[in-house]
Amino acid sequence: MFAIPLKAAEGLDLGRSYFYTDSITDLPVLERVGEPRVVNPDPRLRRAAARRGWPVVDLRLEGGEAMPAVG
């Protein structure tokens, strides 16, 4: 996991850090930061977030497709 060596090298406070993801594979990082953010999660991450009381953001249109990028 990249965040832990970076924390040590840069003196980062993970307790004050945000991490955004959509995948259950990032669960170890989410559990270490103070501000986990779950966006358009896969089903397993959605369940994990619900169990932990983390906020979940859905940025999908009706029908399930992702919103188009702006810019």
Considering only the C-alpha atoms of the chain, give the largest distance between any 2 of them, rounded to a whole number of Å.
Answer: 44
Neighbours of 31 (CB within 10 A): 12
In this structure, are residues 21 and 3 in contact, taking their beta carbons and an 8 Å threshold?
Answer: no
**Can you tell me the mean pLDDT for 6-16?**
69
Name the pLDDT band for 5 (thresholds 50, 70, 90): low
* H runs (alpha helix) in the chain: 3-10, 27-30, 43-52
- pLDDT in the model for residue 17: 87
- pLDDT in the model for residue 52: 97
Give me the phi and psi of 2, to 5 degrees please: -70, -35
